[in-house]
Amino acid sequence: MVSRHIAPRPHGLDAPLIVSLTSYPKRYDVLHLTLTCLLCQTIMPDEVSLWIGDGDFEQLPESVLMLQERGLKIYRTKDLRSFKKIIPALSRWPEAYIATADDDVYYPADWLEGLVATAIAFPGRIIAHRVHRIIYDAAGEIESYERWSKNLLRGQEGQALFATGVGGILYPPRSLHPDIVREDLFMTLCPGGDDLWLYWMAQRQGSVVRHVGPKHRTIEWPGSQVFALRSVNRGTPDESGNDLAIAKLTKYFRLSE
């Protein structure tokens, strides 16, 4: 069990700060570990919210339920796969800062503070601990996901920076296009690619990603990756779930705008 003794400070942002994540039964064995990390940060969010699909709610273990005594809020929601970590939160708190986290990762005590301090220093940016740089070919088309520059080293920002959810991302109010909540689109174009959908919605809104820096080290709980979407999304350089989703997103928005 994660053990920390911290007296958190106010976050100092100009709107509420919500930490939001989702999970499902195959991750429930380690979920309480991640939640404890998020509940023991050096700065205090207004809420740590866990969104659970209706069909998975009754299976939540006591190790998670007992964390409600420490401030965790648990909500039932429609099963939108990994999109549950942000879509319901955006609908509930449209004017809040939403910090997303994954359910199978160790987060250090200053994880949230790093996101918030960067957001204050660079207002209006989407803030991420872990980013890739999208690579384009000579014709201006996006190269295969496997050819992107991964997990960049230093703090920087730009339209070609792609925030990855595993490190944690902070979305300021109105940084995502209103279509972000359109289930008909994201479940058709990229049902397994919430990071891709969020990138496209940020681009359509004219938002810029800022990397906290330095290079992010991801520490996952042992055994938690047996059921990860990562292997499906990455696939091979010639055909991966990410590349198929990118092709669909590119085609749809090119034709519709």
Instruction: Give this prediction's pTM.
Output: 0.92
Could you read off the pLDDT of 69-83 as tens digits, one per residue?
Answer: 999 999 999 999 999
Q: What is the CATH number of the domain that holds 190?
A: 3.90.550
Mean per-residue pLDDT for 232-248? 72
Q: How many domains does the chain have?
A: 1
Using DSSP, state whether 50 is helix, strand or coil: strand
Is 214 contained in some domain? yes
Is 85 contained in some domain? yes
Could you read off the pLDDT of 139-186 as tens digits, one per residue?
Answer: 999 999 999 999 999 899 999 999 999 999 999 999 999 999 999 999
> CA 17, CA 36: separation in Å to the nearest integer?
18
Is 173 contained in some domain? yes
Is 4 contained in some domain? no
Instruction: Give the model's pLDDT for residue 183.
Output: 97
Domain hosting 22: range is 17-255
Q: Tell whether omega for the bond before 172 is within 30 degrees of 0, i.e. cis.
A: no
Is 2 contained in some domain? no
Q: CB neighbours (10 Å) of residue 64?
A: 20
Is 216 contained in some domain? yes
Percent of the chain clearing pLDDT 70 (strictly above): 91
Is 155 contained in some domain? yes
Instruction: Give the model's pLDDT for residue 6.
Output: 82
Q: E strands of the chain, at which residues? A: 9-10, 17-22, 43-44, 47-53, 72-77, 97-100, 126-128, 131-133, 157-158, 161-163, 169-171, 209-211
Is 67 contained in some domain? yes
